[in-house]
Every structure is written in C-alpha cells, then in structure tokens.
Amino acid sequence: MPHLSELHGAATHLAVVAVPVYLLILLVRRTGRGGDAPAAAEPWILGAALAGIGLAGITGLLVWGQSKTMLRGTSGRLGTVHFWLGIALAVVVAAVAAWRWRRVAGDRHTHGLELVTGGVLALAAVLAQGYIGGRMTYEHAVGIDSGGQLAQTAHGASQLEVALATGTSPVQAGRQAFSTQGLGCASCHGDLAQGARGPRLAGGVELEEFRGVHAHGLFPPAAVSDRDFAAINAYLKTLSRGKRDRDEG
C-alpha cells in the first residue's frame, strides 16, 4: 500500500506542474501568439491544476494529522503554514477559474488580470509551499515512515543507551532523555510532563499507548527500544499526576 505522503506527493506534483504551465499559457495568449493551441489547452491545464490542488488538499489533511506525531514543539507551525498556503492557493486558482469561465462565456477575453493576480500569486504560493514542504521532509522527516526527526531521535536514544550501559539509574537516564536536550519529549509534553502541545504524561504511560502514537513517528522501535521506554517511564512515575490524582482519589 502507498504511504499517505506518497499519495500527497503525487497530487502535489500535478499542481506544481500545471500551475506554472497555466501561467505560461496566459502569458502566450496575452502576447497574441501561438494561434488556437493555447486557447484549446487552457481549460485542460486549468482543470489539471484544480484537480491537483484538490487532491493535494485531501491527502495533505491526512499527512498533516500524521505530522503531529513527527514534529517536536513549535516545529508544528511549519505544517500549519504549509496547510494555509494550500488553502490560499486553492482559493486563488478557483477564483481565476470562475472568472475565466464567466469571461469566456460572455466572449470577453482578457488575460492581463488573470496573469497578474491569478498566475503570479498562484506561482508564488506553489514556490512557498514547496520550500516549506521540503523543510518538513528533509529537516524533520515528515512523511518518512518510522522517521520522526531522525537526527535528534538517534542522538537522544544513543545518549540514553550509553547512560544505562554505564550504570546510570533508569530514573536519572530517563530524566535526561525526556528533556529537550535528549529525545526532546519535554518540548511537546512540558518540562515536568504536565502536558503542553502533547498530553500529560506525569505518573507514567503504558508501552502500548506510547507505541500506538509514536511507533511510526518520532520514536520508532528500531531507534527507541522497550528498555529505553522503561527508563523514561521510570522517570515519569516519579512525577505527580496532579489533577488526575485528585480526580481519581
């Protein structure tokens, strides 16, 4: 089965190709060159751009949900900006398509307004989205199955395993791994696991719950072993559950 990010990439590339080609067609028609070919191709290219943007939006929503388990702390803002740029791109292209349909239906052919407001803005949005999407993939490994943020996950897991191998207590090793300098758990769950962008973990968490969220995200089993998890959980169990303790008492 294809990974969601692969489907998103396929849809996105359709839009990435169609939008610049549509801009070129508008430019050619504006100059009065090319004969009837650009006019015949225009609705097909515009349709491809709309289809690509629509499919990219649908698959992007699913990938965006996945990315929340693959981005630490404020890195999630990248996904939010990427998402809203996609919305802006869809609005611009849909508006240009509606405008063109009305003008053509009324036999009032214009290309300058669409070229400037539609094509240029859409191209700018495509370029900005591509840059942010590249950062999400190449810097943060979003869309890479069991990738997480590869460098920090590997470094933090290595630090934790060295600490355990050299006799550091599981609680102390787990505290170091939980910090923003270790595996980075604190950047989402708070310095004392009190809950922030991610849920409260103070008091401990079950291995199955941890794997259910992070097995294909930040902390795949190949990088963070059950022993590593046990050390982090030993530290979490030393923290007060706070309000949950009072509710359950």
pLDDT, one tens digit per residue, over 102-160 is 776 665 655 566 666 667 888 888 889 889 888 887 777 777 766 767 778 888 999 99
Residue 193 has what DSSP assignment?
S
Picking from 137, 122, 134, 129, the residue whose alpha carbon sits closest to that of residue 18 is 122
Q: How confident is the model at residue 246 (pLDDT cuts 50, 70, 90)?
A: very low
Residue 212 pLDDT > 80: yes
Instruction: Report how far apart, in Å, the C-alpha atoms of 73 and of each of 19, 69, 184 are.
Output: 33, 10, 9
58: number of Cβ within 10 Å = 12
Q: How confident is the model at residue 244 (pLDDT cuts 50, 70, 90)?
A: very low
Sequence spans of domains, the chain: 4-138, 150-248
Q: Residue 104 in contact with residue 78, Cβ under 8 Å?
A: no
Tell me the pLDDT of the chain averaged across its residues.
Answer: 82
Q: How confident is the model at residue 236 (pLDDT cuts 50, 70, 90)?
A: very high
Pick 100 or 210 by higher pLDDT: 210
Residue 1 pLDDT > 60: no
Residue 249 is predicted with a pLDDT of: 42
Domain 150-248 architecture: Orthogonal Bundle (1.10)
Name all contacts of 62-65 with Cβ < 8 Å and 24+ positions apart. 62/4, 62/8, 63/4, 63/5, 63/8, 63/142, 63/143
Q: How confident is the model at residue 206 (pLDDT cuts 50, 70, 90)?
A: very high
What would the mean pLDDT of 45-73 be, rounded to a whole number?
Answer: 80
Residue 235 is predicted with a pLDDT of: 97
Residue 239 has what DSSP assignment?
S
Residue 152 is predicted with a pLDDT of: 83
